[in-house]
A and B are shown apart, each in its own frame.
Chain A
């Protein structure tokens, strides 16, 4: 029998896997830390190590890292996660809204449960078959 091709799961909002903890439980364990190579100021990611060609994160986006963590957790609670397999027990990609702008958070393959995040453009927006992001955007 031919295997039907499944379009990239990385850019699609998927279902919450049955064999993992609830979205509430996972959300409570994650935090945003960012990445120092995108910072020109001290942040939870450590001393600034901005690469010359890296896009610097706006300072206002890292001053209140608790807000970023809240946004990350809300994305997980709303199950706006990629259809990829979980990585170390955590969703690999999470999408969330901050002030009407869509951000993508990527699980850092190192300290478990930590994420970096970045603003994405419309063409990077994931497929959203159940309209999870669209409904949330309107709230």
Chain B
């Protein structure tokens, strides 16, 4: 899995922290991009998404220093949008980038 980012200007973004960490971001797994998106304006395919990397960085830092969490035996980690058992939230938060989006383009990985 390869993560790639390029810093970008963020005209109009009011939040100073989000603006300072604005980037084009892509995740490549093998030959496929997990961040592939279709631009509806130009109807073209893009391999990266745009947004602030601050929430992602915050998530990485928080989870790197956290003690290990284990899934409950028999726990199915991807039941769609079902409600998550409270005791499994630490595990899924550790393993799902969606938690790091803060309202930005979703990356359900």
Contacts and interface: CB of A to CB of B under 8 A. Distances in A.
Nearest to B24: A53
Interface residues of B, number: 40
Contacts of B72: none
Interface residues of A, number: 35
Given A8-B66, A53-B37, A116-B103, A110 B46 contact: no
Contact of B96 (A7, A8, A123): A123
A118 interface: yes
Contacts, number: 87
A138 interface: no
A125 B18 CA distance: 22
Interface string A31-46: 0010111100000011
Contact of A53 (B12, B46, B96): B46
Contacts of A38: 103
Interface of B: 11-18, 37, 39-42, 46, 49-51, 58, 62-63, 65-67, 81-84, 86, 89-90, 92-93, 96, 98-99, 102-106
